[in-house]
Amino acid sequence: METWGTQGWEGEVKNMYAKTRLPDPIRAAAVRAVIIVALTLVQLMIAALSSLAEVWLAFPMALSTVASTVAATWSVLDVWISRQVWVQRNGVVSEPSSVARPRPRAPHRREERPAERAA
């Protein structure tokens, strides 16, 4: 019985964890961003449902949802900026990807024959 991700098309064994891990600062920023965005969505649902039910909680939740949206945007930008800073400080591995094509060669110019030069 084959396990998903262990055998490729031609039967060669592939490592399903071959993709490198994110660096720790970027990972931490991404986890923070996911948690903040999830909490913001929960707040949004509470604000929407409480406003539909005309409960006193609707207005405070709407205000806190606006503040959480700003924080969520900031945290997502933090992930992007942390990634850019990491790449700038530590460099990237310069390997061509599998979809990279070789550079096209310059077309060869046909040498002129002496008879064509005279004409």
Q: What is the pLDDT of residues 66-104, one digit of tens each?
A: 999 999 999 999 999 998 888 888 876 666 665 555 666
Residue type at 97 in one-letter notation: S
Q: Look at residues 67, 63, 75 and name the one whose alpha carbon lies nearest to residue 36.
A: 75
How many domains would you assign to the chain?
A: 1
24 confidence band (pLDDT: 50, 70, 90): confident
CB 18 within 8 A of CB 8: no
Work out the number of other CB atoms within 10 angstroms of the CB of residue 94: 5
Q: At residue 111, does pLDDT exceed 70? A: no
Q: Does 111 or 48 have the greater pLDDT score?
A: 48
113 confidence band (pLDDT: 50, 70, 90): low
- Can you give the pLDDT at residue 92? 65
Write out the residue range of the structural domain in which residue 81 sits.
Answer: 25-89
Q: What's the average model confidence in pLDDT over 6-19?
A: 60
Q: Look at residues 48, 66, 69 and name the one whose alpha carbon lies nearest to residue 57.
A: 48
pTM (2 d.p.)? 0.60
Q: How far apart are CA 50 and CA 36, in angstroms?
A: 21
Q: Report yes or no on 53 lying in a domain.
A: yes
- Can you give the pLDDT at residue 102? 61
Q: What's the average model confidence in pLDDT over 19-36?
A: 88
Q: Report yes or no on 85 lying in a domain.
A: yes
Task: Give the total residue count for the chain.
Answer: 119
- Can you give the pLDDT at residue 90? 81
